[in-house]
Amino acid sequence: MANTHSTGDTALKPSAVKPKLPDMFKVLLLNDDYTPMEFVVETIQRFFNKSREQATQIMLKVHTEGMGVCGVYPQDIAETKMNQVLIHAKEAQHPLQCVVEPA
C-alpha cells in the first residue's frame, strides 16, 4: 500500500502520510435590482445556516458592494448549495444569482 506508515510491528518509522485538506470554494450571492431583501435574508438563513442577524449583514453587503460570501465549503458542497439557491430563486421567480469560486 502506497501510504503505509506502519509495518504492523511495534516500531513505527516517521509517517509519510500527510492528510490533505480539500480545496475550498466560496459561495457568492450577486446583487440585482429585483429580488426582495427579505427573500435574500431568508435564503441565506435557510441554505447557509446563518442567524437572521448574520444573514442580514451578508444581504446588505451584497446589496451595497455587488456581491458577498455566504460560506466556504469543499467543492461538492459549495456547488450543491449554489444549485439549491438557484432552484429556490427560480421557483419564486426572482432573478437572484449565485456563483462558486475558488477560495
Residues of this chain that interact with ligand TYC (CB under 6 A) are: 29-33, 35-37, 40, 59, 62-63, 96
* Cα–Cα distance, 39 to 41 (Å, whole number): 6
31 versus 80: smaller Cβ distance to ligand TYC: 31
Considering the complex, what minimum distance in angstroms separates the CB of residue 31 from ligand TYC? Answer: 5
- Please name the residue that has the C-alpha cell 444573514: 55
Q: Give the containing element (helix H, strand E) for 27.
A: strand 24-30
Contacts of 30 (CB under 8 A, 6+ apart): 62, 66, 67, 96, 97, 98, 99
23 versus 33: smaller Cβ distance to ligand TYC: 33
Considering the complex, what minimum distance in angstroms separates the CB of residue 80 from ligand TYC? Answer: 19
* Cα–Cα distance, 96 to 9 (Å, whole number): 59
5 versus 46: smaller Cβ distance to ligand TYC: 46
77 versus 86: smaller Cβ distance to ligand TYC: 86
Considering the complex, what minimum distance in angstroms separates the CB of residue 48 from ligand TYC? Answer: 12
